[in-house]
């Protein structure tokens, strides 16, 4: 009697997203849930949120070099960041609201809990809001943020990064990620970046320098696409982790 073949082992799919608990990132030890996660009730998941449109934005909301200007230009290296927001099948997501926030060129946030002794910039808040167009594209004009100390471990410095928050059309639809810059030596020492288990996933958080996006004599250009799901998904984080 021929013995039936055993079923082939199913491959274990690794997630590109960082775990809730990653001990080298010391804040995650306190923030990580200690009980099993519960599914969101249908009543909340089906609750429609606001429909975003051009009327919710000011003309200069996408440009941090202008949207907080008081009496001069903000200090630092000007940059333009462009990219596409795509779904898991690579299709453009139109009319999505993206918010960004970041430190200034000296590595300091406009936030009451930021105790870094670097100077604040009176013409810069580091926040922007923008909508994707019909091709799923967005554009951010800003200042390249500086690195800053953050106390996670001895001599800990966070690499230069920009936070991206993408909103959907429902109450529960929001994802948060970070964009880094190519060639930053601090990436090798950063537990938030290194906490992403998939090497390819980590690479998707690094923007690409793009000479075609530079504005001659004014700003350097970078490209950063955001993919929501699928094998090429951009790693996302717990929205409460805002370092």
> Which amino acids are annotated catalytic?
109, 148, 158, 161, 163
Cβ atoms 68, 123 nearer than 8 A: yes
Dihedral of the alpha carbons of 132, 122, 149, 62, in degrees to the nearest 10: 0
Alpha-carbon distance 49 to 173, whole Å? Answer: 9
In this structure, the number of other CB atoms found within 10 A of the CB of residue 59 comes to 9
- Residue 102's contacts (CB-CB under 8 Å, 6 or more residues apart) are 64, 109, 126, 142, 145, 161, 162, 163
Token pair 């699928």: residue = 230
C-alpha closest to that of 19 among 237, 220, 176: 237
C-alpha closest to that of 51 among 171, 135, 158: 171
Apex 93 CA angle, 213 and 167, nearest 5: 95
């Amino acid at each position: 009697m021929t013995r039936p073949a055993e079923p082939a082992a199913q491959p274990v799919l690794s997630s590109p997203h960082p775990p809730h608990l990653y001990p080298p990132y010391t804040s995650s030890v306190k923030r990580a849930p200690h009980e099993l996660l519960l599914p969101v009730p249908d009543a909340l998941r089906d609750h429609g949120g606001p429909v975003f449109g051009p009327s919710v934005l000011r003309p200069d909301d996408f440009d941090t070099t202008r949207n907080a200007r008081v009496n001069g230009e903000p200090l630092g290296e000007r940059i333009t960041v462009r990219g596409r927001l795509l779904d898991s099948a690579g299709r453009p997501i139109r009319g999505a609201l993206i918010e960004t926030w970041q430190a200034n060129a000296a590595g300091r946030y406009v936030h009451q809990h930021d105790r870094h002794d670097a100077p604040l910039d009176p013409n810069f808040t580091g926040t922007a809001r923008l909508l994707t167009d019909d091709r799923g594209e967005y554009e951010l004009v800003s200042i390249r943020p500086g690195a800053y100390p953050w106390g996670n471990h001895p001599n800990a410095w966070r690499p230069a990064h920009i936070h991206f928050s993408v909103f959907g059309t429902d109450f529960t639809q929001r994802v948060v990620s970070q964009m880094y810059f190519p060639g930053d030596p601090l990436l090798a020492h950063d537990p938030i970046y290194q906490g992403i288990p998939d090497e390819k996933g980590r690479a998707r958080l690094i923007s690409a320098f793009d000479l075609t996006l530079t504005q001659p004599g004014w700003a350097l250009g970078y490209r950063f696409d955001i993919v929501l799901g699928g094998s090429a998904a951009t790693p996302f984080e717990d929205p409460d982790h805002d370092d």
